[in-house]
Each structure stands twice: as C-alpha cells, then as structure tokens.
Amino acid sequence: MAEATTKLKADEHVVLDQPLLRLPLELQRRNFKQSQIKIDHEQKKTTELLRNAAKSANSASPDDTTKALDGMIQRMENLKRDLETLHEEEQSLNEQSSKRIRHLQELYEIPSLTDVKYENWSRTRLDRLVVDYLLRAGYSDTAAALAESKDIQDLIDLDTFKQCHKIADSIQGGSTTEALRWVVRNKDSLKKLLEKTPDKAMITPAVTPKVSQLEFELRFQEYIELLRRHPTRDSARYEAIMHAQKHLAPHSAAFPVQYRITAGLLAVDPTDPSESYQEYFSPSRWTYLSQLFVDSHHQIFNLPTQPLLHVALSAGLSALKTPACHSSLNPSSAATDGHEHAKPMFTPTPFSNHIGNSLCPICSTELNELAKNVPYAHHTKSSVENDPVMLPNGRVYGRERLEELEVKNLRMTGTRRDADEERGKDNTKGRTVVDPVTGDTYPWSVLKKVYIT
C-alpha cells in the first residue's frame, strides 16, 4: 500500500508542463515557414530576372548583362545571409527543445515520490513556475536574474515574453504602430484564431471576417485618435472618414456593432464628458487594447492565459479548501461573491484568537482570492476530535478543546483561580462556552454530546 501511494505517476505531472514543448515547436514551425517564404520569393524573382536576361541577351550590352547578373548574385547572397540567420535560430530552438525534453525525461526515471531526485526536480519546476509568473507580470529583468541564478535559461521563454510586453507597453502608451506591425507578421495565425474562437458579441457568426478582432480594434482606435486630435476641424473629420472607409468599412459586415459606432462618434464632442460614447475616448481603451493584444499573443503561441503557478497552486488549494475558508465569518477571507463587503459578526476576543484559520493557506489574504473558484476538497475520511459536542447553533467542537480555550480565556480576563478550579471537573453550573467562530455565548448545560456513526 505504501509503495502504491508513493509511486510517481509521471504522465499526470507533465500535464502542467505541456507549454514547455509547445512554444519551441510553434517557433520552429514559424521559422521553417519564414524560410520557405523567403526561398519561394527569391526563386520566383530570380527565375524572372534570368528569363528577362536571356531574352535581352542578344540586344543588351555586356555591361548591362554583367550588371543584371551581379544583381541576381547579390540577391542570392542576401538570401544566404537570411537563411543562415534563420538556421542559427533553428539550431538554438532545437537545442532548447532537447534540454526541455531531457528535463521532462528525468521525471520518468524517478521511481518514487520519496526519492531525493524528485525533490530536486520539483524545485527546478518551482523555479520555472516562478520565472513564468514574473515574466507574465512584466518583471523581465528579475525573471532573467532568477533564471540565470538557477541555471534554467533554456527552460523559460524570456525573449517571447519580453517582445510581448514591449508591444503591450507601447499600446498602453498610446501607440498602435508596433502592434499593427506584429499583426501583419502574424495575420494568418490571427485569422485562424478568429475562426476557432470568434467574439460573438462583436462579430456576425454568418460572416467570415477577413481581419482579426485585434487588427480591427487597433484600426478603430486610430479612427478615434483622429477625431480626438482635432475635434473641431473639418479636415480631421474628413481624414477620419477616409480612414474608416479604407480600414473599417470593408469589414462592416463582420463587425457591425463597432462599425455603427464609428458614425455616432462623428457627432460626439470628445472633450464633453456628458456626451454619449465617451467610453471610447476614455484612456481605459488603451488598457483594453493592451490586454487584447496579450491574449491574442498567448493564444497563437499556445501559451496558457493564466500563470502556470496559479494552475499548480489551484490544484493544491482544492485539496485543502473547506466551506469555512470562504465564510463571511472568517475575518481573514478575501471578498467572495455574495460577501464582497462581509465583516465578522463579532469582535474577536482573546478566546476566539486561539482557534480559527490562521494557519490555513486558503484563509490567507495572499491565496484566498485565488482559491475562490476552485472546488472544495473531497475527503472520504473525516477527522473528528475526541468527545465532540454540539452547540445550539449546530457547530461541533471537541469538548477538551473548548475547555482548554475557556481556561486560557479566563486567565486572560484575570479569573485564573476559577479556571484552575473548574478545569477537569464535571461542573457546568454558571459556566459559559463561547463559539470560537461566531462569538455566540451559551451555557455549558445546553451542549449536546455527538456520537459519530
């Protein structure tokens, strides 16, 4: 039985590590596609130049012929340099993939959870998850320093996240230039993504969009900025209309809601906060666009939308979560649905401080919000204190625990003599018990003994 419980199930562990191999594979696919496009383009262009040179060989001068050949040679040399750069990138990706595969293979060579090798492997994984969290939060320098100190540079995706945050920051700063360049480079991937997961609130399902949601929103933001820049000039409005006809009108069938808004914005004063559509002139639009870019970036590169550290923590938190962890009576609990502004029903006394969830990770302010949506733990065996008793409010506690806490409470209130005398005696007359969670006070005589069946 012990061997069965400590046996390492590697297949279940590596489910969390799928992105570790997906991203290098996606980057290799893009690298190969880029090489193929360059080769096909240069082959087509060179063949055309050769054909033209052959046709004009009899009539062209030797200098013109030499010049044409030099031009073709120069194109081939440029292609060679580009392919060498792509080949170096491919080799780097292959080496990175090999190290990641070896890292995962080490897990399959560990027989038991009690093996010291598993502890070392788990520490490396934890370092990876922390670095991933830092990268997603935008702390690239800190993440790079941690990865270098732990020697896990090949197990993280530093460059990918740095590029992502660079463009996201440029959007947050009020510029769409870098984002639109990225959209052009990834146009096909974005269109495939849109076909798989269309935004039904914005897109007409019956119409196949020719641009991604991100590209349309960026072009729409450019239209808004044209109106904002010179709200009283007819020339600015004319420029905005021309922009809409070029970039927005061709996609009006796929994005009817947004396109109708473009007409309404022409009649709105961007400087008047009481006007309609002011939300589109709000600075929060840039935050929305920045997040939309990050979401699109992660999806086309097969990156999880939330940090892997949160995924790993959620699995462990679920094993510890109980209904009391998110109770409105728990002062340390973060706000949850239905209890957003819940406060404890009583002021904690010295007595109540001796019991509670102070050591429970779910009840901590750092993890309570993260654990809000995970399921409760499924326990097939219960753990009950000796001599359980039930209070009139239905809560069950161990009698010995309540007596110990009563003694501590009495000592804190200066009635140590009574506490020492009453402890251990079957004398409930005049004694009271306080519910350590709710603070309700009851006579000891009303407690009922509980029998576990």
CB within 8 Å of 405: residues ≥ 6 apart: 351, 354, 355, 436
pLDDT bucket at 322, cuts 50 / 70 / 90: confident
Can you give the pLDDT at residue 311?
86
pLDDT in tens, 34-47: 999 999 999 999 88
pLDDT bucket at 331, cuts 50 / 70 / 90: very low
Can you give the pLDDT at residue 352?
43
Using the predicted structure, report yes or no on whether residue 17 has a pLDDT greater than 60.
Answer: yes
Predicted structure pTM score: 0.72
| 10: DSSP letter | H
Cα–Cα distance between 429 and 432 in angstroms, integer?
9
pLDDT bucket at 208, cuts 50 / 70 / 90: low
pLDDT in tens, 240-263: 899 999 999 988 888 888 888 988
Beta partners for residue 396, in sequence order: 390
Question: Which residue reads 């639109």 in tokens?
Answer: 180
Beta partners for residue 7, in sequence order: 112
Q: Domain map of the chain by residue range?
A: 2-114, 162-300, 321-381, 388-449
282 is written with which tokens? 């709000």
Q: What is the mean pLDDT of residues 29-34?
A: 92
Cα–Cα distance between 228 and 451 in angstroms, integer?
73
Q: What is the mean pLDDT of residues 322-347?
A: 45
Using the predicted structure, report yes or no on whether residue 196 has a pLDDT greater than 90.
Answer: no
| Strands 441-443 and 448-449, sheet pairing | unpaired
| 376: DSSP letter | P
Can you give the pLDDT at residue 231?
64
Cα–Cα distance between 156 and 128 in angstroms, integer?
7
Neighbours of 40 (CB within 10 A): 10
Can you give the pLDDT at residue 382?
66
Q: Say what percent of the chain tops pLDDT 90.
A: 36
Higher-confidence residue: 415 or 226? 226
Can you give the pLDDT at residue 201?
44
Can you give the pLDDT at residue 325?
72
Can you give the pLDDT at residue 394?
84
pLDDT in tens, 109-164: 998 888 899 999 999 999 999 999 999 998 999 999 999 999 999 999 999 999 99
Can you give the pLDDT at residue 414?
62
Higher-confidence residue: 190 or 223? 223
Can you give the pLDDT at residue 315?
80
Residue pair 423/403 in contact (Cβ under 8 Å)? The answer is yes
SS3 state of residue 112: strand
Cα separations (Å) of 60 from 48, 65, 88? 17, 6, 41
Higher-confidence residue: 209 or 350? 209
pLDDT bucket at 417, cuts 50 / 70 / 90: very low
